[in-house]
Amino acid sequence: MTTLNRTTLVKVLEILASSHADEALAAAKLASTMVREAGLTWDDVLAPTIGEAPSQTSSSPLDSRVTGAPGGAGPFGYRRDREPTAHEQFFMLLLSPRTPPEIKNRLRGWEARMLDGEITPQDTADLHELYRSFVAG
């Protein structure tokens, strides 16, 4: 179990407003993975009432797993004990502020193939190298 980086989750969820349906879907999948990796459910993450801020004095199990900054977690709050999938690496690259714009533009050309699961072994190797360079670095 890892902590959930609330700041990163908010950035990922903001992408849901994208005019590109594939990008919005990828953000939703990444957000769900982040919540699941933290050992939480969406009910745990969302306050009971819209606009209600979590109490700072609360001692619920959620408090120990949600943080504004990454603890010992990997990139985007993922566990360090496993390597993210090619799909996860792809979207982390697109979301990372460390990924140069020219790399992000190149990756956008791969988006349909990524979402359809039609990437080649060479694409997977390239993604892994880019991920190591710009996200996990």
What are the tens digits of pLDDT across the range 98-120? 889 999 889 888 888 887 778 89
What CA–CA distance (Å, rounded) separates 28 from 9? 10
Which amino acid is present at 19?
A: S
Asked whether the CA dihedral 110, 90, 46, 7 is positive or negative, the reply is negative
Tokens of 10: 């908010």
What is the mean predicted confidence (pLDDT) over 61-65? 49
What CA–CA distance (Å, rounded) separates 76 from 94? 12
pLDDT score at 11: 85
In the predicted model, what is the mean pLDDT of the chain?
76
Which amino acid is present at 85?
A: T
Q: Which of 96, 92, 78, 81 is nearest to 34 (CA)?
A: 78
Tokens of 121: 């072994």
Burial class of 4 by CB neighbour count within 10 A (0 to 12, 13 to 18, 19+): buried
**Global pTM?**
0.51
Contact 95, 133 (CB under 8 A): no
pLDDT at 74 over 80: no
pLDDT score at 51: 47
Q: Which helix (H) or strand (E) holds 128?
A: helix 121-131
Greater confidence (107 vs 81) lies with: 107
Q: What are the φ/ψ torsions at residue 57 (nearest 5 degrees)?
A: -95, -5
